[in-house]
Amino acid sequence: MKRILKKNDEKYLFPCIEYLVTNGLNSERFSSEDHRPSRQDVTQYLAAWFKRIGISVDECRDWMIEYCVDLLSAISSSSNSQIRHSTKSNIKYIYKSDVSFECGCENNIFKAPCERNCPVYEEMSDKYKKRRVREAKRSYEPERIHHEEQIETVSVKQKYRDQFKKALEVLQDQIKKGVSKPDIVTLLNDRGFKTRTGRKWSYSVFLTEAKSHHFEPELKENEVGLQKLSIKDKYRGQFEKALEVLKDQIKKGVSKPDIVTLFNDRGFRTRTGRKWTVPILQYELKKLP
């Protein structure tokens, strides 16, 4: 990282950035009730920082792709090729949009370290306080729905109805093809599709629409019978093999994120058939004799 920063720019390696660059997203900092940021959240956050300090989009992309595959794959169910594609899309979005870097200081969503001597602490703290005031005002402001506003809402939905139906068709098709959710959101926005109210697609809106329309990947014919088997029975043999490899890697001193990457690259699955993550690995380690 420091190699792509000029000597005078090393002061811009803020505490939160340095932590994320070194450790990725540390799941141990989050309780079971906490919202855990996604790979896309980390990617866009770092990309916004790169843009703020004047690093070119090419330098940002070259560094971020390697970082996301090496450190963030542990919190993602996507393959390495999907991660590379998604990273490029996220960086393109940040650099072309008016999204600015805002960390939230001590309240950053990554629970990364924050120090008051950070060069942007005062600026970021002020932005965070103003944002909280705006959010509180929206939350407690009485609703004033007039007849004209109701007509406006109806007309907006009518205006975007046809293209929204087309967007849903694309959305369902991409889900069936196994495309990752962040990549589907990027695709919808790149193709100019809007939501039912004419807005850009966001991850939360995507999840809401996919759930409300019951869009789920269809099972192939040869997979239907397998669903009748016990999940644990289905994956027991390969899971036991994975545990043998796990013990061997731990003895060799291999780091947990690297073991997770190794497992997923080799096609190993957890006892319930899921991709491996660092939290799952830690859980299984505790159960080992």
Res 128: pLDDT = 93
How far apart (Å, rounded) are the C-alpha atoms in residues 152 and 149?
5
| Helix residue spans in the chain (DSSP H) | 15-23, 39-52, 57-67, 80-96, 121-140, 147-176, 181-190, 203-212, 221-224, 231-251, 256-266, 278-287
Predicted local distance difference test score (pLDDT) of residue 125? 95
CA–centroid distance for 23 within its chain: 16
Q: Which of 282, 288, 285 is nearest to 28 (CA)?
A: 282
Q: Which long-range contacts (CB under 8 A, 24 or more apart) does 89-94 make?
A: 89/182, 89/183, 89/186, 89/190, 90/40, 90/43, 90/44, 90/47, 90/182, 90/186, 91/43, 91/47, 91/57, 91/60, 91/61, 91/64, 92/57, 93/44, 93/186, 93/189, 94/44, 94/47, 94/48, 94/51
* pLDDT 10s digits, 238-285: 888 999 999 989 888 888 988 999 898 888 888 888 888 988 888 888
Q: How far apart are CA 184 and CA 165, in angstroms?
A: 15
Dist CA 187 CA 185 (whole Å): 5
Model confidence at 46, in pLDDT bands (50, 70, 90)?
very high
Q: In the predicted model, what is the mean pLDDT of residues 80-106? A: 93
Contacts of 84 (CB under 8 A, 6+ apart): 65, 68, 69
The residue type at 145: I
pLDDT value at residue 8: 45
What is the sign of the dihedral through the CA atoms of 192, 76, 45 and 30?
A: positive
Where exactly are the structural domains of the chain? Answer: 7-127, 147-212, 229-287
The confidence band for 223, taking pLDDT boundaries of 50, 70 and 90, is very low
pLDDT at 151 over 60: no
Better-predicted residue by pLDDT, 141 or 239 = 239
Cα 88 to Cα 64: distance, rounded to the nearest angstrom: 9
> Exposed e or buried b for every residue in 39-70, given b needs 16+ CB within 10 A?
bbbbbbbbbbbbbeeebebeebbebbbebbbe
pLDDT of residue 220: 44
pLDDT at 192: 87
